[in-house]
Amino acid sequence: MGVTRGDAGMSDGTGNDAGRLSGAEGERLDPAVARRLKRDDRGLVAAVVQQYDSREVLMVGYMNDEALRRTLTTGRVTFWSRSRQEYWRKGDTSGHVQFVKAVSLDCDGDALLVEVDQIGAACHTGSRSCFDAGGPLPAVVGERDGLEVTAR
């Protein structure tokens, strides 16, 4: 499932939609979208955030239905904080805003790919990507060694 800003009906024509944290009271995530989600036992789905033009992976956050609805309808990424038990938008305090370009659901329905235009650092450490700050882990690098691999 891929949704772009225009597909999600994110503008009411006033030009003020990008700053609105939530829509009208009582709005719910589109039931057709909600049915496709496979949430964990806390009602959350992992959201991988990627810079839309370079494809750089920036961070991973978590969304419940309301956070996803806000993301799809405001043009700004909203997450659910597992530690603080509250909604948060990247950039509200730091100014490092994530503007939504597209949202896709994976084949199992248990993860989202959120393509964004990231302004500034994505990581709370000040790094562009949260994966810069964590660094690489020691891993054996696999090689094909001339083997022909055939897809099945």
Annotated binding-site residue? 132 = no
Annotated binding-site residue? 130 = yes
- pTM score, whole prediction: 0.76
Residue 18 in domain: no
Render 13-44 in DSSP notation, one character per residue. Answer: SSS-GGG-SS-STT----HHHHTT----TTS-
pLDDT in tens, the chain (152 residues): 454 433 333 333 333 333 333 444 458 888 888 888 989 899 899 999 999 999 999 999 999 999 999 999 999 999 999 999 999 999 999 999 999 999 999 999 899 999 999 999 999 999 999 999 788 899 998 888 877 767 77
Return the residue matching tokens 């790094």: 127
Structure tokens at 144: 């094909």
Annotated binding-site residue? 110 = yes
* Whole-number pLDDT of residue 39: 93
Residue 108 in domain: yes
Annotated binding-site residue? 40 = no
Question: Which domain, by its residues, includes 9?
Answer: 2-13+27-132
Residue 20 in domain: no
**CATH number of the domain within which 39 lies:** 3.10.20.810
Annotated binding-site residue? 7 = no
* Helices and strands (H, E) in the chain, number of each type: 3, 7
If one counts the domains in the chain, the total is 1
